[in-house]
Amino acid sequence: MSHELPEHPDWLWRNPDPKPSYDVVVVGAGGHGLATAYYLAKNHGITNVAVLERGWLAGGNMARNTTIIRSNYLWDESAALYEHALKLWEVLPEELEYDFLFSQRGVLNLAHTLQDVREGVRRVHANRLGGVDAEWLSTEDVKKFCPIVNTSSDARYPVLGATLQPRAGIAKHDHVAWALARKADAYGVDLIQGCEVTGFLRDGDRVVGVETTRGRINAGKVALAAAGHTSTLAARVGLRLPIQSHPLQALVSELLEPVHPCVVMSNHVHVYVSQAHKGELVMGAGIDAYPSYTRRGSVQIIEAQMAAALELFPLFGRAHVIRTWGGVVDVSPDASPVVGLTPVENLLVNCGWGTGGFKATPAAGWVYAHTIATGQPHPLNAPFGLERFTTGALIDEHGAAAVAH
Amino acid sequence: MLLIPCPWCGDRDETEFGYGGQAHVPYPEAPETLTDAEWAEYLFVRDNPEGPFTEQWVHTAGCRRWFTLVRDTTCNDILAVHRTGTTNPVHP
Ligand SMILES: Cc1cc2nc3c(=O)[nH]c(=O)nc-3n(C[C@H](O)[C@H](O)[C@H](O)COP(=O)(O)OP(=O)(O)OC[C@H]3O[C@@H](n4cnc5c(N)ncnc54)[C@H](O)[C@@H]3O)c2cc1C
Ligand SMILES: [Zn+2]
Protein backbone atom coordinates (compact mmCIF):
# COMPACT_ATOMS: atom_id res chain seq x y z
CA MET A 1 0.00 0.00 0.00
CA SER A 2 3.01 2.23 0.28
CA HIS A 3 3.40 1.69 -3.45
CA GLU A 4 3.26 4.72 -5.68
CA LEU A 5 1.12 4.35 -8.77
CA PRO A 6 3.40 3.74 -11.74
CA GLU A 7 3.44 6.31 -14.52
CA HIS A 8 2.22 4.96 -17.80
CA PRO A 9 3.20 6.19 -21.24
CA ASP A 10 0.82 8.42 -23.23
CA TRP A 11 -0.03 6.00 -26.01
CA LEU A 12 -0.08 2.30 -25.35
CA TRP A 13 -1.65 1.14 -28.59
CA ARG A 14 -2.45 2.39 -32.10
CA ASN A 15 -6.04 3.22 -32.99
CA PRO A 16 -6.23 1.60 -36.43
CA ASP A 17 -9.19 1.52 -38.80
CA PRO A 18 -10.63 -1.95 -39.28
CA LYS A 19 -9.18 -3.97 -42.15
CA PRO A 20 -11.61 -5.81 -44.46
CA SER A 21 -10.58 -9.21 -43.12
CA TYR A 22 -8.87 -10.95 -40.20
CA ASP A 23 -8.04 -14.53 -39.26
CA VAL A 24 -9.73 -14.00 -35.92
CA VAL A 25 -12.15 -11.33 -34.74
CA VAL A 26 -12.55 -11.12 -30.98
CA VAL A 27 -15.71 -9.30 -29.88
CA GLY A 28 -15.19 -7.26 -26.72
CA ALA A 29 -12.04 -5.54 -25.44
CA GLY A 30 -12.44 -6.35 -21.78
CA GLY A 31 -9.77 -8.27 -19.93
CA HIS A 32 -10.74 -11.55 -21.52
CA GLY A 33 -10.79 -10.28 -25.10
CA LEU A 34 -7.42 -8.59 -24.65
CA ALA A 35 -5.84 -11.63 -22.96
CA THR A 36 -7.18 -13.82 -25.75
CA ALA A 37 -5.60 -11.61 -28.41
CA TYR A 38 -2.34 -11.50 -26.48
CA TYR A 39 -2.09 -15.30 -26.19
CA LEU A 40 -3.26 -15.88 -29.77
CA ALA A 41 -0.19 -13.91 -30.79
CA LYS A 42 2.24 -15.07 -28.15
CA ASN A 43 1.37 -18.78 -27.86
CA HIS A 44 0.05 -19.51 -31.33
CA GLY A 45 1.68 -16.96 -33.63
CA ILE A 46 -1.72 -15.73 -34.82
CA THR A 47 -1.46 -11.96 -35.18
CA ASN A 48 -3.90 -11.12 -37.96
CA VAL A 49 -6.43 -10.44 -35.24
CA ALA A 50 -8.85 -7.64 -34.41
CA VAL A 51 -10.45 -6.98 -31.06
CA LEU A 52 -13.67 -5.04 -31.66
CA GLU A 53 -15.04 -2.93 -28.81
CA ARG A 54 -18.30 -1.06 -28.95
CA GLY A 55 -17.30 1.40 -26.24
CA TRP A 56 -13.81 2.12 -25.08
CA LEU A 57 -11.16 -0.42 -24.24
CA ALA A 58 -11.80 -2.11 -20.87
CA GLY A 59 -14.75 0.11 -19.99
CA GLY A 60 -17.07 -2.80 -19.16
CA ASN A 61 -16.78 -5.13 -16.20
CA MET A 62 -13.02 -4.90 -16.49
CA ALA A 63 -13.27 -1.32 -15.24
CA ARG A 64 -15.89 -2.12 -12.62
CA ASN A 65 -14.67 -5.15 -10.72
CA THR A 66 -13.22 -5.27 -7.23
CA THR A 67 -10.07 -7.01 -8.48
CA ILE A 68 -10.01 -10.02 -6.17
CA ILE A 69 -7.72 -12.76 -7.44
CA ARG A 70 -7.76 -16.22 -5.87
CA SER A 71 -7.89 -19.86 -6.92
CA ASN A 72 -9.33 -21.59 -3.84
CA TYR A 73 -12.38 -23.07 -5.57
CA LEU A 74 -13.76 -26.39 -4.40
CA TRP A 75 -14.05 -28.48 -7.54
CA ASP A 76 -10.97 -29.79 -9.35
CA GLU A 77 -12.03 -28.35 -12.70
CA SER A 78 -12.41 -24.83 -11.31
CA ALA A 79 -9.37 -24.93 -9.05
CA ALA A 80 -7.20 -26.07 -11.98
CA LEU A 81 -8.41 -23.25 -14.21
CA TYR A 82 -8.14 -20.49 -11.61
CA GLU A 83 -4.80 -21.81 -10.36
CA HIS A 84 -3.48 -21.65 -13.92
CA ALA A 85 -4.57 -18.01 -13.88
CA LEU A 86 -2.87 -17.35 -10.56
CA LYS A 87 0.39 -18.82 -11.84
CA LEU A 88 0.13 -16.56 -14.89
CA TRP A 89 -0.59 -13.51 -12.71
CA GLU A 90 2.67 -14.30 -10.90
CA VAL A 91 4.73 -13.99 -14.08
CA LEU A 92 2.76 -11.42 -16.07
CA PRO A 93 4.06 -8.17 -14.56
CA GLU A 94 7.53 -9.06 -15.79
CA GLU A 95 6.36 -10.64 -19.03
CA LEU A 96 4.18 -7.64 -19.92
CA GLU A 97 6.81 -5.23 -18.59
CA TYR A 98 4.15 -3.37 -16.68
CA ASP A 99 3.69 -3.06 -12.95
CA PHE A 100 -0.04 -3.52 -12.46
CA LEU A 101 0.28 -3.67 -8.67
CA PHE A 102 -0.42 -7.38 -8.29
CA SER A 103 -0.38 -7.77 -4.53
CA GLN A 104 -0.48 -11.25 -3.01
CA ARG A 105 -1.71 -10.06 0.35
CA GLY A 106 -3.87 -13.11 1.09
CA VAL A 107 -7.61 -13.71 0.96
CA LEU A 108 -9.61 -14.78 4.02
CA ASN A 109 -12.97 -16.50 3.61
CA LEU A 110 -14.66 -16.20 6.98
CA ALA A 111 -16.76 -18.93 8.58
CA HIS A 112 -19.63 -17.84 10.81
CA THR A 113 -21.53 -21.07 11.30
CA LEU A 114 -20.67 -24.71 11.87
CA GLN A 115 -21.67 -25.39 8.29
CA ASP A 116 -19.31 -22.64 7.08
CA VAL A 117 -16.53 -24.26 9.12
CA ARG A 118 -17.14 -27.67 7.61
CA GLU A 119 -17.26 -26.30 4.08
CA GLY A 120 -14.16 -24.22 4.68
CA VAL A 121 -12.12 -27.10 6.07
CA ARG A 122 -13.29 -29.34 3.26
CA ARG A 123 -12.23 -26.75 0.72
CA VAL A 124 -8.81 -26.35 2.35
CA HIS A 125 -8.23 -30.09 2.06
CA ALA A 126 -9.49 -30.19 -1.52
CA ASN A 127 -7.27 -27.25 -2.45
CA ARG A 128 -4.17 -28.81 -0.91
CA LEU A 129 -4.76 -32.07 -2.74
CA GLY A 130 -5.03 -30.06 -5.93
CA GLY A 131 -1.81 -28.12 -5.33
CA VAL A 132 -3.52 -24.86 -4.35
CA ASP A 133 -2.14 -23.13 -1.26
CA ALA A 134 -4.71 -23.13 1.51
CA GLU A 135 -4.76 -22.93 5.28
CA TRP A 136 -7.39 -23.13 7.96
CA LEU A 137 -7.12 -20.32 10.52
CA SER A 138 -8.62 -20.38 14.00
CA THR A 139 -10.42 -17.32 15.32
CA GLU A 140 -7.20 -16.19 17.05
CA ASP A 141 -5.20 -16.65 13.84
CA VAL A 142 -7.78 -14.60 11.95
CA LYS A 143 -7.32 -11.82 14.50
CA LYS A 144 -3.55 -11.95 14.02
CA PHE A 145 -3.78 -11.97 10.22
CA CYS A 146 -6.39 -9.21 10.03
CA PRO A 147 -6.61 -7.32 13.34
CA ILE A 148 -9.53 -5.11 12.27
CA VAL A 149 -12.01 -7.99 11.91
CA ASN A 150 -14.47 -8.15 14.81
CA THR A 151 -13.73 -11.56 16.33
CA SER A 152 -15.47 -10.99 19.64
CA SER A 153 -17.73 -13.84 20.62
CA ASP A 154 -20.81 -11.66 20.99
CA ALA A 155 -20.60 -10.34 17.44
CA ARG A 156 -23.74 -10.77 15.41
CA TYR A 157 -21.73 -12.92 13.00
CA PRO A 158 -19.11 -14.60 15.21
CA VAL A 159 -15.94 -15.53 13.37
CA LEU A 160 -15.43 -19.25 13.94
CA GLY A 161 -12.40 -19.42 11.69
CA ALA A 162 -11.43 -18.75 8.10
CA THR A 163 -9.74 -20.21 5.10
CA LEU A 164 -6.64 -18.36 3.98
CA GLN A 165 -5.08 -18.46 0.54
CA PRO A 166 -1.78 -16.64 1.06
CA ARG A 167 -1.01 -16.29 -2.67
CA ALA A 168 -4.36 -14.66 -3.42
CA GLY A 169 -4.78 -10.89 -3.56
CA ILE A 170 -5.66 -7.97 -5.78
CA ALA A 171 -4.30 -6.11 -8.82
CA LYS A 172 -5.03 -2.83 -10.53
CA HIS A 173 -7.58 -3.78 -13.17
CA ASP A 174 -7.16 -0.84 -15.57
CA HIS A 175 -3.42 -1.34 -15.66
CA VAL A 176 -3.87 -5.05 -16.37
CA ALA A 177 -5.99 -4.18 -19.39
CA TRP A 178 -3.55 -1.56 -20.63
CA ALA A 179 -0.59 -3.91 -20.13
CA LEU A 180 -2.26 -6.65 -22.20
CA ALA A 181 -3.43 -4.13 -24.81
CA ARG A 182 0.04 -2.69 -25.28
CA LYS A 183 1.64 -6.11 -25.84
CA ALA A 184 -1.17 -7.34 -28.10
CA ASP A 185 -0.82 -4.16 -30.15
CA ALA A 186 2.92 -4.64 -30.35
CA TYR A 187 2.35 -8.12 -31.83
CA GLY A 188 0.24 -6.45 -34.55
CA VAL A 189 -3.24 -7.04 -33.16
CA ASP A 190 -5.71 -4.28 -34.15
CA LEU A 191 -7.58 -2.94 -31.13
CA ILE A 192 -10.60 -1.14 -32.55
CA GLN A 193 -12.72 0.93 -30.19
CA GLY A 194 -16.10 2.47 -30.95
CA CYS A 195 -16.93 -0.51 -33.17
CA GLU A 196 -20.06 -2.38 -32.17
CA VAL A 197 -20.79 -5.80 -33.61
CA THR A 198 -24.41 -5.72 -34.74
CA GLY A 199 -24.70 -9.00 -36.62
CA PHE A 200 -22.89 -11.85 -38.28
CA LEU A 201 -21.99 -12.68 -41.86
CA ARG A 202 -23.05 -16.21 -42.73
CA ASP A 203 -22.17 -18.66 -45.45
CA GLY A 204 -24.70 -21.43 -44.97
CA ASP A 205 -24.33 -22.52 -41.36
CA ARG A 206 -20.90 -21.03 -40.94
CA VAL A 207 -20.05 -17.62 -39.59
CA VAL A 208 -17.62 -15.86 -41.92
CA GLY A 209 -17.49 -12.39 -40.42
CA VAL A 210 -19.30 -9.67 -38.55
CA GLU A 211 -21.46 -6.65 -39.29
CA THR A 212 -20.33 -3.65 -37.31
CA THR A 213 -21.09 0.02 -36.91
CA ARG A 214 -17.86 0.52 -38.89
CA GLY A 215 -18.75 -1.80 -41.74
CA ARG A 216 -18.46 -5.48 -42.55
CA ILE A 217 -15.40 -7.38 -41.45
CA ASN A 218 -14.62 -10.87 -42.68
CA ALA A 219 -13.20 -13.32 -40.21
CA GLY A 220 -11.90 -16.88 -40.20
CA LYS A 221 -13.25 -17.23 -36.70
CA VAL A 222 -15.35 -15.02 -34.47
CA ALA A 223 -14.73 -15.30 -30.73
CA LEU A 224 -17.22 -13.65 -28.38
CA ALA A 225 -15.79 -12.10 -25.22
CA ALA A 226 -18.66 -9.74 -24.53
CA ALA A 227 -19.51 -10.68 -20.91
CA GLY A 228 -23.06 -9.50 -20.09
CA HIS A 229 -23.95 -8.89 -23.74
CA THR A 230 -23.06 -12.36 -25.00
CA SER A 231 -26.62 -13.68 -25.19
CA THR A 232 -27.74 -10.65 -27.17
CA LEU A 233 -25.00 -11.32 -29.70
CA ALA A 234 -25.53 -15.08 -29.82
CA ALA A 235 -29.25 -14.53 -30.38
CA ARG A 236 -28.34 -12.88 -33.71
CA VAL A 237 -27.29 -16.31 -35.01
CA GLY A 238 -30.18 -18.05 -33.30
CA LEU A 239 -27.98 -19.46 -30.55
CA ARG A 240 -29.63 -19.56 -27.12
CA LEU A 241 -27.21 -19.58 -24.19
CA PRO A 242 -27.83 -20.54 -20.56
CA ILE A 243 -26.91 -17.06 -19.40
CA GLN A 244 -28.78 -14.31 -17.56
CA SER A 245 -27.39 -10.78 -17.33
CA HIS A 246 -27.66 -9.25 -13.87
CA PRO A 247 -26.50 -6.02 -12.27
CA LEU A 248 -23.57 -6.42 -9.89
CA GLN A 249 -22.66 -3.46 -7.73
CA ALA A 250 -19.63 -2.33 -5.77
CA LEU A 251 -18.57 0.77 -3.86
CA VAL A 252 -15.59 2.62 -2.47
CA SER A 253 -14.95 4.83 0.55
CA GLU A 254 -12.83 7.94 0.64
CA LEU A 255 -9.04 7.48 0.81
CA LEU A 256 -8.00 6.26 4.23
CA GLU A 257 -4.76 5.42 5.96
CA PRO A 258 -3.74 1.81 5.42
CA VAL A 259 -5.83 -0.18 7.91
CA HIS A 260 -6.75 -3.33 6.07
CA PRO A 261 -3.86 -5.67 5.31
CA CYS A 262 -5.57 -8.34 3.20
CA VAL A 263 -8.84 -9.26 1.47
CA VAL A 264 -11.74 -10.47 3.61
CA MET A 265 -14.72 -12.24 2.14
CA SER A 266 -17.77 -13.56 3.89
CA ASN A 267 -20.23 -15.61 1.91
CA HIS A 268 -22.52 -15.93 4.87
CA VAL A 269 -23.09 -12.22 5.41
CA HIS A 270 -22.38 -11.53 1.77
CA VAL A 271 -19.78 -8.85 1.66
CA TYR A 272 -16.13 -8.68 0.75
CA VAL A 273 -13.66 -5.92 1.50
CA SER A 274 -10.14 -4.91 0.59
CA GLN A 275 -8.25 -1.65 0.64
CA ALA A 276 -6.91 -0.44 -2.67
CA HIS A 277 -3.35 0.80 -3.06
CA LYS A 278 -4.46 4.41 -3.03
CA GLY A 279 -6.34 3.86 0.23
CA GLU A 280 -10.03 3.53 -0.56
CA LEU A 281 -11.95 0.64 0.95
CA VAL A 282 -13.41 -1.44 -1.85
CA MET A 283 -16.53 -3.47 -1.12
CA GLY A 284 -18.87 -5.62 -3.07
CA ALA A 285 -21.80 -7.92 -2.53
CA GLY A 286 -24.03 -10.15 -4.61
CA ILE A 287 -26.04 -9.63 -7.78
CA ASP A 288 -29.48 -8.06 -7.96
CA ALA A 289 -32.14 -10.75 -8.36
CA TYR A 290 -33.57 -9.45 -11.65
CA PRO A 291 -31.79 -9.39 -15.01
CA SER A 292 -30.96 -5.92 -16.32
CA TYR A 293 -28.62 -4.19 -18.74
CA THR A 294 -28.82 -0.83 -16.97
CA ARG A 295 -25.44 -1.06 -15.21
CA ARG A 296 -27.15 0.01 -12.02
CA GLY A 297 -28.67 -2.02 -9.24
CA SER A 298 -31.02 -1.42 -6.37
CA VAL A 299 -29.98 0.49 -3.29
CA GLN A 300 -31.06 -2.11 -0.74
CA ILE A 301 -28.24 -4.35 -1.96
CA ILE A 302 -25.72 -1.66 -1.05
CA GLU A 303 -27.49 -1.09 2.27
CA ALA A 304 -27.30 -4.76 3.23
CA GLN A 305 -23.68 -4.97 2.19
CA MET A 306 -22.76 -1.92 4.30
CA ALA A 307 -24.61 -3.37 7.28
CA ALA A 308 -22.66 -6.60 6.94
CA ALA A 309 -19.37 -4.73 6.54
CA LEU A 310 -20.00 -2.73 9.70
CA GLU A 311 -20.73 -5.86 11.69
CA LEU A 312 -17.46 -7.37 10.57
CA PHE A 313 -15.42 -4.15 10.75
CA PRO A 314 -16.82 -1.79 13.42
CA LEU A 315 -13.88 0.47 12.61
CA PHE A 316 -15.50 1.43 9.29
CA GLY A 317 -18.33 3.19 11.14
CA ARG A 318 -16.94 6.63 10.31
CA ALA A 319 -16.02 5.92 6.69
CA HIS A 320 -18.19 7.31 3.90
CA VAL A 321 -19.47 5.82 0.70
CA ILE A 322 -17.97 7.97 -2.04
CA ARG A 323 -19.09 6.11 -5.11
CA THR A 324 -21.21 3.10 -6.04
CA TRP A 325 -21.48 1.60 -9.49
CA GLY A 326 -22.68 -1.45 -11.32
CA GLY A 327 -21.72 -3.74 -14.15
CA VAL A 328 -23.69 -6.26 -16.21
CA VAL A 329 -22.54 -9.76 -15.31
CA ASP A 330 -23.26 -12.93 -17.25
CA VAL A 331 -24.49 -15.56 -14.82
CA SER A 332 -24.72 -19.23 -15.76
CA PRO A 333 -26.90 -21.82 -14.00
CA ASP A 334 -23.98 -23.53 -12.23
CA ALA A 335 -22.02 -20.30 -11.62
CA SER A 336 -19.19 -21.60 -13.79
CA PRO A 337 -18.02 -20.13 -17.07
CA VAL A 338 -18.77 -21.35 -20.57
CA VAL A 339 -15.66 -21.43 -22.74
CA GLY A 340 -15.53 -23.30 -25.98
CA LEU A 341 -16.98 -24.12 -29.36
CA THR A 342 -20.63 -23.62 -30.28
CA PRO A 343 -23.00 -25.47 -32.62
CA VAL A 344 -22.36 -22.63 -35.10
CA GLU A 345 -19.19 -23.29 -37.08
CA ASN A 346 -16.42 -20.71 -36.56
CA LEU A 347 -18.25 -19.05 -33.67
CA LEU A 348 -16.82 -19.48 -30.17
CA VAL A 349 -18.01 -18.29 -26.78
CA ASN A 350 -16.30 -17.21 -23.61
CA CYS A 351 -18.94 -16.11 -21.12
CA GLY A 352 -20.71 -17.00 -17.91
CA TRP A 353 -17.88 -15.70 -15.74
CA GLY A 354 -20.49 -13.78 -13.86
CA THR A 355 -19.25 -12.19 -10.69
CA GLY A 356 -15.79 -13.74 -10.75
CA GLY A 357 -14.00 -13.51 -14.07
CA PHE A 358 -11.38 -10.88 -13.36
CA LYS A 359 -9.18 -13.32 -11.46
CA ALA A 360 -9.36 -15.68 -14.43
CA THR A 361 -8.35 -13.10 -17.05
CA PRO A 362 -5.02 -14.62 -18.10
CA ALA A 363 -6.23 -18.22 -17.97
CA ALA A 364 -9.40 -17.38 -19.87
CA GLY A 365 -7.27 -15.78 -22.56
CA TRP A 366 -4.87 -18.73 -22.57
CA VAL A 367 -7.46 -21.48 -22.98
CA TYR A 368 -9.71 -19.48 -25.29
CA ALA A 369 -6.78 -18.69 -27.57
CA HIS A 370 -5.92 -22.40 -27.59
CA THR A 371 -9.50 -23.33 -28.50
CA ILE A 372 -9.61 -20.72 -31.27
CA ALA A 373 -6.21 -21.66 -32.68
CA THR A 374 -6.55 -25.44 -32.59
CA GLY A 375 -10.29 -25.90 -32.95
CA GLN A 376 -10.22 -28.02 -29.77
CA PRO A 377 -10.64 -27.01 -26.16
CA HIS A 378 -7.56 -26.94 -23.97
CA PRO A 379 -7.72 -29.63 -21.24
CA LEU A 380 -8.38 -26.86 -18.71
CA ASN A 381 -11.53 -25.58 -20.45
CA ALA A 382 -12.76 -28.91 -21.83
CA PRO A 383 -15.08 -29.40 -18.79
CA PHE A 384 -16.48 -25.89 -19.32
CA GLY A 385 -18.13 -26.41 -22.70
CA LEU A 386 -21.77 -25.74 -23.52
CA GLU A 387 -22.36 -29.52 -23.71
CA ARG A 388 -22.32 -29.80 -19.93
CA PHE A 389 -25.85 -28.46 -19.73
CA THR A 390 -27.01 -31.37 -21.88
CA THR A 391 -24.81 -34.10 -20.39
CA GLY A 392 -25.53 -32.91 -16.86
CA ALA A 393 -21.83 -32.68 -15.95
CA LEU A 394 -22.31 -29.31 -14.27
CA ILE A 395 -19.52 -27.68 -12.28
CA ASP A 396 -21.66 -26.49 -9.46
CA GLU A 397 -19.64 -23.89 -7.65
CA HIS A 398 -22.77 -22.16 -6.33
CA GLY A 399 -23.28 -23.77 -2.99
CA ALA A 400 -20.03 -25.55 -2.76
CA ALA A 401 -17.22 -23.05 -2.72
CA ALA A 402 -16.20 -19.60 -1.71
CA VAL A 403 -18.14 -18.62 -4.73
CA ALA A 404 -18.75 -14.90 -4.75
CA HIS A 405 -16.05 -13.21 -6.82
CA MET B 1 -34.74 0.36 -6.06
CA LEU B 2 -37.62 -0.66 -8.29
CA LEU B 3 -41.10 0.66 -7.56
CA ILE B 4 -43.28 -2.31 -8.40
CA PRO B 5 -47.03 -2.05 -9.10
CA CYS B 6 -48.61 -5.07 -7.42
CA PRO B 7 -51.87 -5.65 -9.34
CA TRP B 8 -53.71 -5.98 -6.02
CA CYS B 9 -51.89 -3.58 -3.66
CA GLY B 10 -50.52 -0.89 -5.93
CA ASP B 11 -47.02 0.62 -5.98
CA ARG B 12 -44.66 -0.87 -3.40
CA ASP B 13 -40.90 -0.93 -2.83
CA GLU B 14 -38.97 -3.76 -4.43
CA THR B 15 -37.88 -5.00 -0.99
CA GLU B 16 -41.43 -6.32 -0.44
CA PHE B 17 -41.16 -8.66 -3.42
CA GLY B 18 -39.49 -11.86 -4.42
CA TYR B 19 -38.25 -12.48 -7.94
CA GLY B 20 -39.46 -15.49 -9.90
CA GLY B 21 -37.69 -15.43 -13.25
CA GLN B 22 -39.12 -15.57 -16.74
CA ALA B 23 -42.89 -16.00 -16.95
CA HIS B 24 -44.76 -18.50 -19.12
CA VAL B 25 -42.23 -21.32 -19.08
CA PRO B 26 -44.57 -24.29 -18.75
CA TYR B 27 -43.46 -27.60 -17.32
CA PRO B 28 -43.11 -29.98 -20.29
CA GLU B 29 -46.29 -31.94 -20.87
CA ALA B 30 -44.48 -35.24 -21.36
CA PRO B 31 -41.04 -34.84 -19.80
CA GLU B 32 -40.12 -38.47 -20.47
CA THR B 33 -40.32 -37.84 -24.21
CA LEU B 34 -37.87 -34.93 -24.24
CA THR B 35 -34.40 -35.32 -25.69
CA ASP B 36 -31.48 -34.34 -23.45
CA ALA B 37 -31.13 -31.12 -25.41
CA GLU B 38 -34.81 -30.27 -24.96
CA TRP B 39 -34.60 -31.02 -21.25
CA ALA B 40 -31.48 -28.84 -20.97
CA GLU B 41 -33.36 -26.04 -22.71
CA TYR B 42 -36.24 -26.34 -20.24
CA LEU B 43 -33.99 -26.51 -17.18
CA PHE B 44 -31.25 -24.05 -17.99
CA VAL B 45 -32.07 -21.70 -20.84
CA ARG B 46 -34.21 -18.60 -20.46
CA ASP B 47 -34.67 -15.52 -22.60
CA ASN B 48 -32.18 -12.78 -21.75
CA PRO B 49 -33.34 -9.90 -23.94
CA GLU B 50 -32.11 -6.33 -24.00
CA GLY B 51 -35.61 -4.89 -24.04
CA PRO B 52 -39.04 -6.01 -22.82
CA PHE B 53 -38.93 -9.10 -20.61
CA THR B 54 -41.96 -10.88 -19.14
CA GLU B 55 -41.20 -12.04 -15.63
CA GLN B 56 -42.82 -13.29 -12.42
CA TRP B 57 -42.76 -11.53 -9.08
CA VAL B 58 -44.40 -12.40 -5.77
CA HIS B 59 -45.55 -9.83 -3.23
CA THR B 60 -43.95 -11.69 -0.31
CA ALA B 61 -44.36 -8.97 2.31
CA GLY B 62 -47.81 -7.95 1.11
CA CYS B 63 -50.65 -9.95 -0.40
CA ARG B 64 -48.30 -12.88 -1.14
CA ARG B 65 -49.70 -13.29 -4.62
CA TRP B 66 -47.81 -13.92 -7.86
CA PHE B 67 -48.12 -11.68 -10.88
CA THR B 68 -46.41 -10.91 -14.14
CA LEU B 69 -44.50 -7.79 -15.14
CA VAL B 70 -43.26 -6.71 -18.52
CA ARG B 71 -40.10 -4.77 -17.75
CA ASP B 72 -37.67 -3.15 -20.19
CA THR B 73 -34.26 -4.51 -19.15
CA THR B 74 -32.45 -1.59 -20.79
CA CYS B 75 -33.98 0.99 -18.40
CA ASN B 76 -36.07 -1.02 -15.88
CA ASP B 77 -39.26 0.79 -16.96
CA ILE B 78 -42.28 -1.35 -16.18
CA LEU B 79 -44.41 -1.57 -19.31
CA ALA B 80 -47.30 -3.74 -18.14
CA VAL B 81 -48.51 -5.76 -15.19
CA HIS B 82 -50.83 -8.79 -15.31
CA ARG B 83 -52.51 -10.87 -12.66
CA THR B 84 -51.13 -14.37 -13.15
CA GLY B 85 -53.31 -16.37 -15.49
CA THR B 86 -54.82 -13.33 -17.18
CA THR B 87 -53.72 -11.52 -20.27
CA ASN B 88 -55.31 -8.12 -19.70
CA PRO B 89 -52.95 -5.57 -18.22
CA VAL B 90 -53.92 -4.20 -14.82
CA HIS B 91 -53.39 -0.61 -13.76
CA PRO B 92 -53.96 -0.61 -10.02
C1 LIG C 1 -19.00 -4.78 -9.48
C2 LIG C 1 -18.22 -5.96 -9.97
C3 LIG C 1 -17.27 -6.55 -9.13
C4 LIG C 1 -16.54 -7.65 -9.57
N5 LIG C 1 -15.56 -8.15 -8.75
C6 LIG C 1 -14.76 -9.16 -9.18
C7 LIG C 1 -13.68 -9.61 -8.36
O8 LIG C 1 -13.42 -9.09 -7.28
N9 LIG C 1 -12.93 -10.64 -8.83
C10 LIG C 1 -13.19 -11.25 -10.02
O11 LIG C 1 -12.50 -12.20 -10.35
N12 LIG C 1 -14.18 -10.81 -10.83
C13 LIG C 1 -14.98 -9.79 -10.44
N14 LIG C 1 -16.00 -9.32 -11.26
C15 LIG C 1 -16.28 -10.01 -12.53
C16 LIG C 1 -15.36 -9.57 -13.66
O17 LIG C 1 -15.31 -8.17 -13.73
C18 LIG C 1 -15.88 -10.14 -14.99
O19 LIG C 1 -16.13 -11.53 -14.88
C20 LIG C 1 -14.85 -9.95 -16.12
O21 LIG C 1 -14.41 -8.62 -16.16
C22 LIG C 1 -15.49 -10.34 -17.45
O23 LIG C 1 -14.58 -10.36 -18.52
P24 LIG C 1 -14.15 -9.06 -19.36
O25 LIG C 1 -13.15 -8.30 -18.57
O26 LIG C 1 -13.70 -9.50 -20.66
O27 LIG C 1 -15.56 -8.28 -19.43
P28 LIG C 1 -15.88 -6.80 -19.92
O29 LIG C 1 -14.84 -5.84 -19.44
O30 LIG C 1 -17.29 -6.51 -19.55
O31 LIG C 1 -15.70 -6.94 -21.49
C32 LIG C 1 -16.74 -7.18 -22.41
C33 LIG C 1 -16.64 -6.12 -23.46
O34 LIG C 1 -17.45 -6.46 -24.57
C35 LIG C 1 -17.93 -5.26 -25.11
N36 LIG C 1 -19.09 -5.55 -25.96
C37 LIG C 1 -20.31 -5.99 -25.58
N38 LIG C 1 -21.13 -6.11 -26.65
C39 LIG C 1 -20.39 -5.77 -27.73
C40 LIG C 1 -20.68 -5.69 -29.14
N41 LIG C 1 -21.88 -6.01 -29.64
N42 LIG C 1 -19.68 -5.28 -29.97
C43 LIG C 1 -18.46 -4.95 -29.48
N44 LIG C 1 -18.14 -5.01 -28.17
C45 LIG C 1 -19.09 -5.41 -27.30
C46 LIG C 1 -18.29 -4.44 -23.88
O47 LIG C 1 -18.40 -3.06 -24.20
C48 LIG C 1 -17.13 -4.76 -22.95
O49 LIG C 1 -16.08 -3.83 -23.03
C50 LIG C 1 -16.76 -8.20 -10.86
C51 LIG C 1 -17.70 -7.61 -11.71
C52 LIG C 1 -18.42 -6.48 -11.28
C53 LIG C 1 -19.40 -5.85 -12.22
ZN1 LIG D 1 -49.77 -7.29 -3.33
The ipTM of this complex is 0.95
Cβ-Cβ pairs closer than 8 A, A with B, add up to 56
pLDDT of residue A403: 46
Name A325's Cβ contacts closer than 8 Å, sequence gap at least 6.
A64, A249, A250, A251, A295, A296
When pLDDT is averaged across residues A95-120 and rounded to a whole number, the result is 96
Any B CB within 8 A of A2 CB: no
* Portion of chain A with pLDDT greater than 70, in percent: 96
Query: Which of A358, A361, A367 gets mutated to test ligand 1 (max ligand atoms within 8 A of its CB)?
Result: A358
> What distance in Å separates the CA atoms of residue A272 and residue A139, rounded to the nearest whole number?
18
> What distance in Å separates the CA atoms of residue A9 and residue B59, rounded to the nearest whole number?
54
Q: Could you say which residues of chain B have pLDDT below 50?
A: none
A45-75: pLDDT as tens digits? 999 999 999 999 999 999 999 999 999 999 9
Nearest 10 degrees: CA dihedral of A85, A268, B73, B81?
Answer: 160
Say yes or no: CB of residue A52 within 6 Å of ligand 1: yes
pLDDT of residue A401: 46
Query: Which of A71, A351, A355 gets mutated to test ligand 1 (max ligand atoms within 8 A of its CB)?
Result: A355
Strand pairing report for A107-111 and A263-266: parallel
> What distance in Å separates the CA atoms of residue A308 and residue B62, rounded to the nearest whole number?
26
Residue-by-residue DSSP string for A36-50: HHHHHHHHH----EE
* Portion of chain A with pLDDT greater than 90, in percent: 92
pLDDT at A2 > cutoff 70: no
Q: What is the largest CA-CA distance in chain A?
A: 67
This prediction's pTM: 0.96
> What distance in Å separates the CA atoms of residue A21 and residue B53, rounded to the nearest whole number?
36
- The number of CA neighbours under 13 Å toward the Cβ of A143 is 10
pLDDT of residue A288: 95
pLDDT of residue A93: 98
Say yes or no: CB of residue A373 within 6 Å of ligand 1: no
* Residue located nearest, by CA, to atom 53 of ligand 1: A327
DSSP H stretches of helix in A58-110: 61-64, 76-95
Give all domains of chain B, ordered by start, each with its CATH number.
3-26+36-91 (3.30.2270.10)
Say yes or no: CB of residue A31 within 6 Å of ligand 1: yes
**8 A C-beta contact, residue A157 and residue A312:** yes
